[in-house]
Chains A and B, each alone.
Chain A
Amino acid sequence: MAVDMNVFRGFGEQIRNLPNRARPTDCPDGERVARAKAVFAAKLDATKATHLESCIHCGLCAEACQFYLQTEDPELTPIHKLDLLKRYYRREKAPLRFFHRLFEADITEADLEATQYLVYESCTECGRCGLACPMGIDIASMVNVTRQGLAEAGLIPAGLRAVEQEQGEHGTVFGVGPEQLCTAVEELRARGYEVPVDKERADILVLTSTIDVLLFNDALEATVKVMNHLGVDWTLHTCAFEGANFGLLSGYEKVQKSASERITHQAIALGAKLVIVPECGHAYPAMRWEGANEHGGPLPFEVMAISEFLGREIQAGRLKVEPIGRDKHVTYHDPCKVGRHGGVFAEPRAVLAALDVDLDEMPSNRATNFCCGGGAGLFVMEGAEPMRNAAFDLKREQVEATRAQTVVTACGSCRVNLLAGAVRTDWDRGIESLVELVGNNLKNPSPSP
């Protein structure tokens, strides 16, 4: 099913209006530095200290960063984005802090404000820079710590702050709550699908996301088809359906924790053995890698991305698909948070192999794949548009180096950014969801309209 471009444009309009919805922050002037420092103090451990101690200022990280490659602006050098954190570390935590204090000035509110653009609008925390570092410094994770400090200091950019505030206060994202989910479910039921909602017990809790409810209904529909095709015991739940976590994206950990704990508690109440995260890049690490840490202990259920689940079911022979044929030329865009940060590379490729399409990989793929440019919340930041466009232009070059006519991916915000770039540049390549491809090509599909 093609994306309704009127809905897509409406979604874009909502995003542009986000800054008007953002409330002022509750952080009084004069407290920002102290609040940011408290976060830095809590988050800097031996790993991060070692990374901050090891930089040799070689600048190789810049050569891996899409934003530097596209702009050649040295201000966008990834390690430079950590200057604020590094200064705090050297003065307050480093073993030689007594020495560094002689030369390093303390951080100020102006420093925090100057860092906002570097760690929000011009970094998707994609982690590609870390692959080029000869010291193995994980820059992306420390950009995230810097975001956490700025978030606590009330310096989240307005667009992102609006969504974080909404999710923190109402549990909804872009106004999508239980009612909107039920409306989407009723539409699917009206078309003949059986969609279990709010079961008391279920083996599998399936999450969705606002983007799928509002815009990419095809992905939600395909997920329903797949789960019914497999005949597993699954449910959606109105108390815990939103995979997107704007606490993680903004760096505001209180909201991150409440969003992931809502899902964890519901999955435990259901007795679920598995939670499936939708095609939403950051939703995967939010539950798969950070969910247990926010919970304070191991989770009593597995967490899988939908692309991972599809691949494993196909590899196990439980999910059967009809071959599409080698005359469909595709390339696969690995969402950074699912691939480079999550290790899900083989499963989506197993799906494409089962569909028997012609997969032509981009020059940089799997761990070195370039980000779509909209990750880590950039797709809702008003000031990030030039960066998003720059990233899309690079991605476009990568795709055009293949014979693919279609870019397949497994992340809603990647789809949004790629689609926005395609519209902007009148690009003729298609952008499709992996689960949609599977849903449309199930062998002996379950009853459908």
Chain B
Amino acid sequence: MSFAEFVDGPFWYFSAIVFAVGSLWRLIGMLTMGRHSDYSVPRASGTSGAVATNIRRFFPRREFWSRIKLQVVAGYLFHVGLFALLFFAAPHVEFYREKVLGFGWPAMPEWAFVVTSELAFFGLLLLILHRLISPVTRRISARGDYIGSILIFVVMLTGCLALARSYEPLRVLHFFLAELLLIYFPFSTLIHTFTFPFSRGFSGAHYGRRGVSV
């Protein structure tokens, strides 16, 4: 079995299973820990608060904006760009159609891919630089934060190179690195991809029943 066959076959299945089982294990584990009863009389609806906070947290508060705008803008560039690349880059759509779902959807044109990937790279580099430079993020960052950032960076880099050069070894390398990222995902802070609606929702419900919009 060649390395390409290994990456396209057993290692792909292994990484997909680790990703799915690991992520579900972590999500189900944390959400089934039970919750303490709250007997206080609510001032307003907790459910509305949970929904509102989920939406509100996409938009930073005016009072904080001047101090956090770099991270917010970089974060949006990276996350929106990554989302677009992941689900609308032509090779990815083709991959989902062939190997995962059995159907596809319209992909973005190549010029949009180039613009999106440049913006996503720019955002990610800013975030990595901020993590390395800011005394606060340097203090609170763990080894895993750097590993996650570097893995995403090299996956994106090899993906762009593979598309630009149409060179098979680059595609295999990109795929291999993406599989490493899938394996790493459930053990890292990347799990926030799935936990953020619950995390925002719990706070929104807690403060919402007290009549506070957070």
Contact = CB atoms under 8 A, between A and B. Distances in A.
Contacts of B83: none
A45 interface: yes
Interface centre among A68, A74, A79, A295 (most CB of B within 10 A): A74
Nearest to A296: B39
A45 B210 contact: no
A63 B28 contact: no
Contacts of A383: none
Given A47-B35, A343-B210, A343-B211, A289 B202 contact: no
B71 A46 contact: no
A128 to B, nearest CB: 9
A271 interface: no
A58 B40 contact: no
Contacts of B214: 130-131, 136, 367
B195 interface: yes
A80 B139 contact: yes
Contact of A60 (B53, B64, B206, B210): B64
Interface residues of A, number: 61
Nearest to B54: A136
A132 to B, nearest CB: 5
B199 A289 contact: no
Given A57-B189, A63-B67, A363-B63, A135 B139 contact: no
Contact of A132 (B61, B139, B141, B206): B61
Contacts of A45: 33-36
B9 interface: no
Contacts of A96: 22, 25-26, 29, 186-187
Nearest to A55: B189
B67 to A, nearest CB: 4
Interface string A355-377: 00000000110011000000000
Interface centre among A138, A141, A290 (most CB of B within 10 A): A138
B57 to A, nearest CB: 6
Contacts, number: 178
B34 A46 contact: yes
B145 interface: yes
Interface stretch (B103-111, B130-138, B172-180): B130-138
B26 to A, nearest CB: 5
A317 interface: no
Contact of B33 (A49, A138, A342, A364): A49
A54 B195 contact: yes
A95 B30 contact: yes
Contacts of B57: 133-136
A77 interface: yes
Contact of B26 (A60, A95, A363): A95
Interface in A135-193: 135-138, 141
B158 interface: no
B31 interface: yes
Interface residues of B, number: 62
Interface in A61-103: 62-64, 68, 72, 74-75, 77, 79-80, 93-96, 99
Contact of A295 (B25, B39, B186): B39
Given A80-B140, A99-B187, A130-B203, A60 B71 contact: yes
A77 B57 CA distance: 20
Contacts of B43: 343
A104 to B, nearest CB: 10
B68 interface: yes
B26 A53 contact: yes
Contacts of B196: 54, 134-136
Nearest to B131: A57
B136 A62 contact: yes
A258 to B, nearest CB: 18
B212 interface: yes
B32 interface: yes
Given A62-B136, A79-B140, A80-B139, A292 B40 contact: yes
Contacts of A55: 189, 192
Interface centre among A72, A297, A343 (most CB of B within 10 A): A343
A368 B61 CA distance: 9
Contact of B75 (A134, A291, A340, A341): A134
A25 interface: no
B30 A49 contact: yes
A50 B28 CA distance: 10
A44 interface: yes
Interface in B116-138: 131, 134-138
B47 interface: no
Given A57-B189, A63-B67, A46 B199 contact: no
B212 A343 contact: yes
Contacts of B38: 292-293
Contact of A291 (B40, B134, B186): B40
A270 to B, nearest CB: 19
Contact of B202 (A95, A136, A341): A136
A59 interface: yes
Nearest to B44: A343
A55 B192 CA distance: 7
Contacts of A130: 203, 214
A44 B40 contact: no
Q: Which 7 A-B pairs have the closest CB atoms?
A: A95-B29, A343-B211, A136-B200, A292-B39, A59-B136, A74-B139, A54-B199
Interface of A: 44-47, 49-51, 53-60, 62-64, 68, 72, 74-75, 77, 79-80, 93-96, 99, 130-138, 141, 288-293, 295-299, 302, 339-343, 363-364, 367-368
10 contacts: A50-B199, A53-B26, A54-B195, A54-B198, A60-B64, A77-B140, A135-B199, A136-B196, A289-B40, A297-B39
